[in-house]
Chain A
Amino acid sequence: MNDQIRKLTVAAVVLLVALIVGTTYWQTWAAAGLRDKQDNAIARVAQFTIKRGAIYTAAGTPLALNRAKKVSDQTFYFRRYPNGNLASDVVGYSTQARFRTGLEESENDYLTASNAHLSTVLDRTLDVLKGATIVGNNLVLTLDAQAQRLAIQALGSNCGAVVALDPVTGKVLVMATSPSYDPNLIERDYPAISRIQANCRPAAPLLNRATQGTYSPGSSFKLVTAAAALDSGTYTLDSSFNDPGYCIEYGKKVTNFSDQNGPEVFGQVNFVQALQHSINAVFCEIGKKLGAHVILDYARRFGFYAIPPLETPVSERKPSGLWRNSRLFFPKHDFQVDNGRLGFGQEARLLVTPLQMAMVAAGIANQGVVMQPYLIDRIVAPDKSTLQRTKPRELGRAIEPQTATDLTTMMEAVVSGGTGTAAQIPGVLVAGKTGTAETGVAHVNTTWFVAFAPADAPRVAIAVALENQHGTGGATAAPIAKTIMEQLLRRPGP
């Protein structure tokens, strides 16, 4: 019988080894998949036993810290956000009740030390073996706390967003959205957040309007049209136009912007003046001449039709472009698009995010090269050593340097003597473009100001978007852009 017993032994050992294999599967291969399951309360709770990394602005203002709480047998680390709504829609939250959003979600691996860097893996393994508390890595953002605070104040009870970039590197210096919320309330008093009121309905404070808000760009889109017009060689700064005060679209008159005296009429103008005064009739003609394809191709070069690269969760970023049935739509033929209205940014399906418009300004400021925007300057290990520093990366060249120089000249004219004079900063050359997008409701507009400064050596590019405004972009958005640019230009130079 010994022979049979030996075979039986093999069978029994095979069964037990299968258990080791099964355990290995769940604890290694499948572990990450299990951790990400929505109903995995264990992983969620276990994360709070990790001393989560802190999040700071560029100069060290704390945005997210921990609050240790001893509960019966374990120490849990819950989040506290000492600066409340300062950057709540960027940082997001990490709570028991509502999981995570923002950088708290997308950078969770770094914040909980489960990233794959060798030094982190070693530290974590040592901590586990020692039974010590695992300590996450800290994030240092590119945000400028003072300018960020200023932006939140300036937005006030308006709904809208401000995005300011360093055009040379792509650093996000300001990303403010309004209304914002105090992330400490998520766990403590969630209904208080849903009661937040602002100049729009729903107020949606959890929406990061800078990356998720899609608005009609209005005349601010003329920058893209002008870029296409110049870069394709179809027009030059000296091209002359005759503005009758309207343009004919599908056999009907589309009039220029109207003031108290009715529609403006400028007559004979050159290209610089056309942008300076934001003449719809001229851009309507340019749109019809170029066609949607050419314009949208240039838009694409600036980053349209792709979700902009950024460290926040992909679900919290939206691409810009023409939208149809909640989907992006790139026309096969020019006739599918209202080319004239597209030319001056009023094609009804054209929706853009403030981040995208800031990228347009930054691309022009950076001699035609659009840099990838980024929010995380560096990731710092618990022992204060820098684990990873973000290197500026090009998203791509949108336009030739000469086109960028020409566009800068045109944008300077807007601020020095056109629709954007409210953005003038004493002693600094500012290049900008206004936008006043009709919403379909009379006298209610989405207003824009897109700019960069100093125009001759740009250090800041900015986009301001405001919902439900009665004034123009030059009157409402330009002063906000000015204040924030002034603040950002006070930073010490590189």
Chain B
Amino acid sequence: MSYRNRELANLIVVAILTGLGFASVFIARQDVISTASLTYGLFFLGLYLVAHVFTRLAVPHADPYLLPLAGLLTAVGVIEIYRLKPSDALRQSLWIVIGVAVFGAVLLLLRRDYRKLENYKYIFGLGAVFLLALPALPGLGQTINGARLWIHFGSLQFQPGELAKIMLIVFLAGYLREKREVLAQGRLKDLGPLLVIWGAAMLVLVETKDLGSALLYFGIFLAMLYTATARKAYAFSGLALFVVGSYGAYHFVARVKERVTIWLHPWTSHPVPCPLSGHPALRQDCQSYQLVKSLYSIGNGGYGGPGFGKGTFTTPDGHQLIPFLNTDFIYSALSQELGLIGSSALLLVYIVIVLRGMRLAILAEDGFSKLLAAGLTFGFALQTFIIIGGVLRLIPLTGITMPFVSYGGSSIVANFVLLAGLLLVSNRANAKAAGA
């Protein structure tokens, strides 16, 4: 079977799963929602078919699993968002439509040779810096939950960091491809750029007050630097620098300190000062309220979980039990409804995407493609780890999104761009292999 026919078969399986997911929510909650839920299944089938037409036209030799897997993740996300707040699901679906449109546009634009992007690497680098700086601008930037990661035009909110991440990866792929020999020699003066980027990550950290974003950008940088130069010393000294920087931030940025404290001691047995109310309170009733409630949600899932639509998120009189379920804590909602079996399956989807992404990085022939694919894939994995790891209390909690699943427009669009990038690299590598 050809790559694209395989993709089509996979997409049909995913569409059936999507339909079943919506049907399950519909059955569990038929008192409050209409049969409109069932049309979502059809809608997704149509949307995947459109995306499939794009891949057929632009990247006929690309990996046949990535698009269906990403489709599955978006569907799981929309099903859960729909279950939590039907009105948000409609907006999320619109963003997915936009995401698929951008996906198609990127594929069609770059279908001949995406490698020309390498020529514009500095523009991408500057663009990334510009986007990252946007939330800092007064009047444009917006602080949500204590982190300055958003900008807004009118009623539209946007997280520029998501696109900045991809631009940074394109820049690094180009820059490191060019400088890898020099950097690999490890002369002291060549370490300059490393220090500059470390400084930039620290600035991002202080600026956005978000440890997760800084860790994400810097982690991607270190991973790509290591891939390009094969020098472990860079990776480890970079990590050491990051730890030192974070330690400094812990002392000088109140929010970072707060996040770390919440992470280490979410429960207290005695009242502690609570900045939210000004009165002493147990920390689980104050700063770590979200984290603790989210852990309760996960714990309530058990092995099997009750299934889509049957989790406990509100009291019988309609009171919300867990805040920010749609965005930061979508994993704790999914984890409760799907249980250990379902959450593990969901995480396996991420692992498979990562394995496919890394596989095509290995298959790719030129350095730019390899670095691009490895960078995009690693960034995808690291972002997943940072957000879910935060929810699971493996690391301090941060405000970045869960790729393809969380509610949020910028995240969805950026991840479709990432997916398009991977498919472009894959298409070229497979076409070469088939041609040779």
Interface status of A326 (Cβ within 8 A of chain B)? no
User: Across the interface, do A19 and B347 meet the contact criterion of CB distance under 8 Å?
Assistant: yes
Interface membership of chain A positions 1-28, coded 1 if the CB is closer than 8 angstroms to chain B and 0 otherwise: 1111111110111011111101111111
CB of B227 within 8 Å of the partner chain: yes
Interface stretch (choices B107-115, B293-301, B422-430): B293-301
B contact residues vs A (CB 8 Å cutoff)? 28-29, 31-32, 223, 226-228, 230, 267, 282, 284-285, 292-293, 295-307, 309-310, 312-318, 321-322, 335-336, 339-340, 343-344, 347-348, 350-351, 354-355, 358, 361-362, 367, 370-371, 374, 377-378, 381-382, 384-385, 388-389, 392-394
User: Using an 8 Å CB-CB cutoff, how does the interface string of A22-38 with B read, 1 for contact, 0 for none?
Assistant: 11111110110011010
The listed residue (B226, B292, B295, B315) touching A8 by CB distance below 8 A is: B226
Name the distance in Å between B48's Cβ and chain A's nearest Cβ: 24
Interchain nearest-CB distance for B108 vs A (Å): 28
Known: A1-B367, A125-B303. A6 touches B362 (CB 8 A): yes
With A12-B354, A41-B315, A128-B305 already in contact, the answer to whether A34 and B31 are too (CB < 8 A) is no
**8 Å CB interface, A54-83 against B:** 69-74, 76
Contact B304 A129 (CB under 8 A): yes
CB distance from A79 to the nearest CB of B (A): 13
- Nearest CB of A to B6, in Å: 23
Which 7 interchain pairs have the tightest Cβ spacing?
Answer: A34-B299, A22-B392, A12-B381, A73-B29, A15-B385, A9-B358, A46-B312
CB within 8 Å for A45 and B321 given contacts A9-B355, A26-B298, A30-B299: yes
B392: which of A2, A11, A19 is its contact (CB, 8 Å)?
Answer: A19
A376 to chain B, nearest CB (A): 26
List the B side residues contacting A7 at CB < 8 Å: 226
B316 touches A45 (CB 8 A): yes
Q: Which residues does chain B contribute within 8 Å of A9, judged by CB atoms?
A: 354-355, 358
Report the minimal beta-carbon distance from A298 to chain B, rounded to whole angstroms: 41
Which residue of chain B has its CB nearest to the CB of A12? Answer: B381
A238 at the interface (CB under 8 A from B): no
Cβ contacts under 8 Å, A42 to chain B: 293, 296-297, 300, 312-313, 321-322, 336
A452 contacts the other chain (CB 8 A) = no
- Point out the residue from B299, B362, B378 that lies within 8 Å of A27, measured CB to CB: B299
**Could you show 18 A-B contacts with beta carbons less than 8 Å apart?**
A2-B362, A11-B223, A12-B382, A13-B355, A15-B381, A18-B394, A22-B389, A22-B393, A26-B298, A26-B299, A39-B285, A42-B297, A46-B300, A49-B310, A72-B32, A128-B302, A131-B28, A131-B306
- In the bound complex, residues from chain A placing their C-beta under 8 Å from that of B354 are 9, 12-13, 16
Q: Does A240 reach chain B (CB closer than 8 Å)?
A: no
Decide: B343 and A23 in contact? CB cutoff 8 A: yes
- Considering the chains assembled together, what is the distance between the CA atoms of A129 and B344 in angstroms? 16
Question: What 1/0 mask marks residues of chain A from 129 to 159 whose CB sits below 8 Å from any chain B CB?
Answer: 1010000000000000000000000000000
Contact B344 A20 (CB under 8 A): yes
Which B residues are in CB contact (< 8 Å) with A8?
Answer: 223, 226-227, 358, 374, 378
- Measured in the bound complex, the distance between the Cα atoms of B298 and A31 in whole Å is 8
Count residues of A near B (Cβ-Cβ below 8 Å): 51
* A16 and B321 contact, CB distance less than 8 A: no
A315 to B211, CA, bound (A): 45
Complex Cα–Cα for A76 and B318 (A): 13
CB pair A131 B230 closer than 8 Å: no
Q: For the complex, is A215 an interface residue (Cβ under 8 Å from B)?
A: no
Task: Check if A283 is an interface residue, CB within 8 A of chain B.
Answer: no
- Please give, as numbers and ranges, the residues of chain B lying within 8 Å of A131 by CB-CB distance: 28, 306-307, 310
A96 CB–B CB distance under 8 Å: yes
Given contacts A12-B358, A37-B292, A39-B284, 13 further A-B contacts (CB under 8 A): A1-B230, A4-B228, A8-B378, A15-B384, A17-B351, A18-B389, A22-B394, A26-B298, A28-B302, A31-B299, A39-B285, A40-B296, A42-B336
The reply on A48 being an interface residue by CB < 8 A is yes
What CA separation (Å) do A12 and B302 show in the bound complex? 26
Residue pair B335, A27 in contact (C-beta under 8 Å): yes
90-111 of chain A: CB within 8 A of chain B: 96
B177: nearest chain-A partner, CB-CB: A1
Q: Is A457 an interface residue when CB atoms closer than 8 A count as contact?
A: no
Given A3-B230, A5-B370, is A23 in contact with B389 using a C-beta cutoff of 8 Å? no
Q: Are B385 and A19 in contact (CB under 8 A)?
A: yes
Known contacts: A1-B367, A8-B227, A42-B322. The answer to whether A27 contacts B392 by CB under 8 A is: no
Alpha-carbon distance between A24 and B392 when the two chains are bound, in angstroms = 10
**Do residues A71 and B316 form an inter-chain contact, with CB atoms below 8 A?**
yes
When distances are taken between beta carbons in the complex, the residues of chain B under 8 Å from A41 are 293, 296, 315, 321
Q: A26-B392, A42-B322, A46-B300 are contacts. A74–B344 as well, Cβ < 8 Å?
A: no
With a cutoff of 8 Å between Cβ atoms, the chain A residues found around residue B309 in the complex are 73
Partner of B340, one of A17, A24, A46, A72: A24
The listed residue (B295, B303, B378) touching A26 by CB distance below 8 A is: B295
Taking CB atoms, residues of chain A closer than 8 Å to B377 are 12
Q: Which residues of A contact B322 (CB under 8 A)?
A: 42
Q: Which residues of A contact B298 (CB under 8 A)?
A: 23, 26-27
**Would A31 and B302 count as touching, CB distance under 8 A?**
yes
Instruction: Please tell me if A43 contacts chain B, counting CB pairs below 8 Å.
Output: yes
A39→B318 CA distance, assembly (Å): 18
A30 to B296, CA, bound (A): 10
Q: Which of A11, A42, A72 has the most CB of B within 10 A?
A: A42
Residues of A within 8 A of B344 (CB): 20, 23-24
A-side contacts of B31, CB under 8 Å = 70, 72-73
- A73: contacting residue among B28, B302, B361, B392, CB under 8 A: B28
Q: Given B282, B310, B336, B381, which contacts A16 in the complex, CB threshold below 8 Å?
A: B381
A128 contacts B284, C-beta separation under 8 Å:
no
Task: Provide the residues of chain B in CB contact with A46, threshold 8 Å.
Answer: 300, 312
Tell me, in angstroms, the Cα distance from A39 to B269 when the chains sit together: 12
Q: Say yes or no: B382 contacts A15, CB within 8 Å.
A: yes
State in angstroms the CA–CA spacing of A18 and B350 once bound together. 13
Quote the shortest CB–CB distance from B328 to chain A (angstroms): 15
A7 — nearest CB in chain B belongs to which residue? B226
Contact B299 A1 (CB under 8 A): no
Nearest Cβ in chain A — how far from B395, in angstroms?
A: 10
Q: How far is the CA of A74 from the CA of B227 in the complex (A)?
A: 52
In the complex, what residue of chain A is closest to B359 when comparing beta carbons?
A: A9
Query: What is the bound-complex CA distance between A3 and B313, given in angstroms?
Result: 46
Query: Which of A27, A39, A49, A70 gathers the greatest number of chain B CB atoms within 10 Å?
Result: A27
B307 to chain A, nearest CB (A): 5
A43 to B336, CA, bound (A): 11
Residue pair B362, A5 in contact (C-beta under 8 Å): yes
* Of A9, A26, A125, A129, most B-chain CB atoms within 10 Å: A26
Q: Which residues of B contact A35 (CB under 8 A)?
A: 299-300
Verify B299–A18 contact, CB threshold 8 A.
no
Residue with the greatest number of chain A CB neighbours at <10 A, chosen from B284, B343, B348, B370: B343
**Which of B318, B351, B367, B392 meets A23, CB within 8 Å?**
B392
Residue of A nearest to B307 (CB): A131
In the bound complex, how far is the Cα of B25 from the Cα of A73, in angstroms?
Answer: 10
- CB pair B310–A74 under 8 Å, yes or no, is yes
A-chain residues with CB within 8 Å of residue B378 when the two chains form the complex:
8, 11-12
With both beta carbons as reference points, the residue of chain A lying nearest to B227 in the complex is identified as A4
Q: What is the minimal beta-carbon distance from B135 to any residue of chain A, in angstroms?
A: 27
Q: From A34, A45, A96, A125, give the contact of B295 (CB < 8 A).
A: A34
Provide the residues of chain B in CB contact with A1, threshold 8 Å: 227-228, 230, 367, 370-371, 374
Contact B299 A45 (CB under 8 A): no
**Which residues from 208 to 262 on chain A have a C-beta closer than 8 Å to any C-beta of chain B?**
none
Set of chain A residues within 8 Å of B297, measured between Cβ atoms: 42
What distance in Å separates the Cβ of B73 from its nearest Cβ neighbour in chain A? 13
